[in-house]
Structure 1
């Protein structure tokens, strides 16, 4: 089946599987879930666990288990949230830098595999289309609000502003 929705979903599934294989064979001693979580922490450094879980589309308890393992390895720190004493802010530790670089290498390899045969212009077109997809779907998403996604530049790219 070649509907747009099917293709996007299938490509996401295949990229996730490729990423999981690469993380498994890279010798980083992280699971793919832990690696994805660490990358999200890097993207949202200082965010609350609940916000990270929301952005990842996972249950907070699942993310909590990943964060526990990352903290045990010294890659993240949980710090009190000054605005909510029940919440913790998730911060990268100094030790996370090398691991993030290693994970980024694996992400780059998956991306190169996925984009073979696409010139830079075609890659830019796919990136633009997916940003628009994301923005449009976020408008429809009433369950979770993800604050740092859909930048002004992306909205302008899609003609929303």
Structure 2
């Protein structure tokens, strides 16, 4: 690879990572169709699972990077399917707390099982050192991105 090509690759790296992320989500969406959940549904379920029951709706929206009204529409659908429950926060009646139902927990188990199988399939051809190297790179890149966001905010 020439120096000129290395520069072009570096300039396109974040674009390519974004493209890779979109393609990964398309694969996941296809895999989850059999479960009857879309991108709009499985992401909040997984975030709620990882954040824990009883989180505030606004915290879930922040974690997902979406606006409150958008999340409200998604949650209404998840509640109608019996996957999530919404309740009032006793300390702040305006705030809403979210909990996975037993059916929602089962769905999360099915989702994480499919994700795990797909990850295994995709990463099977890569060595442990390669995976560790890219993981370390992504962690450093995330840190730099956070620094940049903080600097730009203020």
TM-score tier, shorter chain, comes to 0.7 to 0.9
Distance 2:24 2:121 in 1: 9
Distance 1:125 1:82 in 2: 46
1:51 aligns with one of 48, 55, 59 = 59
Residues 1:125 and 2:133 aligned together: yes
Contact 1:15 1:110 in 2 (8 A): no
TM-score norm. by structure 2 comes to 0.79
Q: Which protein has the bigger helix share?
A: 2
Calculate the aligned-residue CA RMSD, in Å: 1.9
Query: Where does 1:33-48 land on structure 2 (aligned, <5 Å)?
Result: 33-45=40-52, 46-48=54-56
SS in 2 for 1:118: coil
Residue 13 of structure 2 aligns with which residue? Answer: 4
Deviations 1:80-116 (A, max 9, x none): 2234221111111222221111101221233234324
Distance 2:73 2:22 in 1: 23
Distance 1:84 1:140 in 2: 34
Distance 1:96 1:29 in 2: 12
What are the ranges of 5 or more consecutive residues in structure 2 without an aligned counterpart? 1-7
Aligned residue-pair number:
140
Distance 1:88 1:140 in 2: 32
After TM superposition, the structure 1 stretch with the greater mean CA deviation from structure 2, 132-141 or 103-112, is: 132-141
Contact 1:35 1:103 in 2 (8 A): yes
TM-score norm. by structure 1 comes to 0.76
Q: Name segments (4+ residues, structure 1) moved above 6 Å.
A: none
What are the ranges of 5 or more consecutive residues in structure 1 without an aligned counterpart? 143-161
Distance 1:8 1:126 in 2: 12
Whichever of the two has the greater Rg, that structure is 2
SS in 1 for 2:93: strand
Give 1:9 deviation, angstroms.
Answer: 1.0
Distance 1:140 1:82 in 2: 38
